[in-house]
């Protein structure tokens, strides 16, 4: 007998959480899992570990903007949004935790002229 619940797909949950946070802060940045020009946050799951009741997913957030200062501010805003997402439901998942593991760091992207700051962190989601 399998007593494990259903693990939600974490990328849609986190994209929805960041989108909701940007709306709350009246920020016009776009969010998704693919690169887009302009003020944009690219969200990628880069690993993680699960348990009986939770899934801990490691995420990379790449924050692009027209200049370095704005890209860094966007990265700091994403960190704040992730902290504030604890205890919230987004796209069928419930976020129980956030822990930044590195960054923000200025990390040039050779595929674009837009400056990029990125940060990583662990998001814990409740298994339903």
Token digits of residue 35: 């690169």
Residue 116: pLDDT over 60: yes
- Cα dihedral 15, 64, 49, 81, rounded to 10, equals -60
In degrees rounded to 5, what are phi and psi of residue 6? -95, 125
Q: Answer positive or negative: Cα dihedral of 21, 96, 48, 8.
A: negative
**Percentage of residues in the chain with pLDDT exceeding 70?**
95
Q: Over the stretch 63-84, which tens digit does the pLDDT of each residue have? A: 999 999 999 999 999 999 999 9
Task: For residues 122 and 114, give the distance between their C-alpha atoms in angstroms, rounded to a whole number.
Answer: 26
DSSP H stretches of helix in the chain = 10-24, 68-84
Supply the mean pLDDT for the chain. 92
Closest CA to 116 of 42, 79, 64, 73: 64
Q: Which residues of 111-128 are buried (b: 16+ CB within 10 A; e: fewer)?
A: eeebbbbbbbbbbbbbbe
Please report the pLDDT score of residue 119 as a whole number: 97
Quick one: which of 57, 79, 80 has its CA closest to 8? 57
């Amino acid at each position: 007998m399998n007593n494990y619940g259903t693990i939600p797909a974490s990328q849609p949950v986190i994209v929805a959480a960041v989108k909701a946070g940007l709306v709350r802060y009246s920020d016009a940045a776009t969010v998704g899992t693919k690169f887009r020009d302009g003020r944009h946050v690219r969200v990628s799951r880069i690993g993680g570990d699960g348990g009986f009741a939770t899934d801990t997913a490691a995420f990379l957030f790449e924050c692009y903007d027209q200049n370095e200062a704005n890209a860094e501010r966007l990265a700091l805003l994403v960190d704040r949004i992730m902290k504030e997402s604890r205890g919230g439901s987004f796209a069928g998942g419930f976020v129980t935790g956030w822990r930044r593991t590195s960054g923000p760091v200025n990390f040039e992207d050779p595929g674009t002229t837009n400056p990029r700051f990125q940060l990583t962190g662990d998001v814990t989601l409740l298994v339903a």
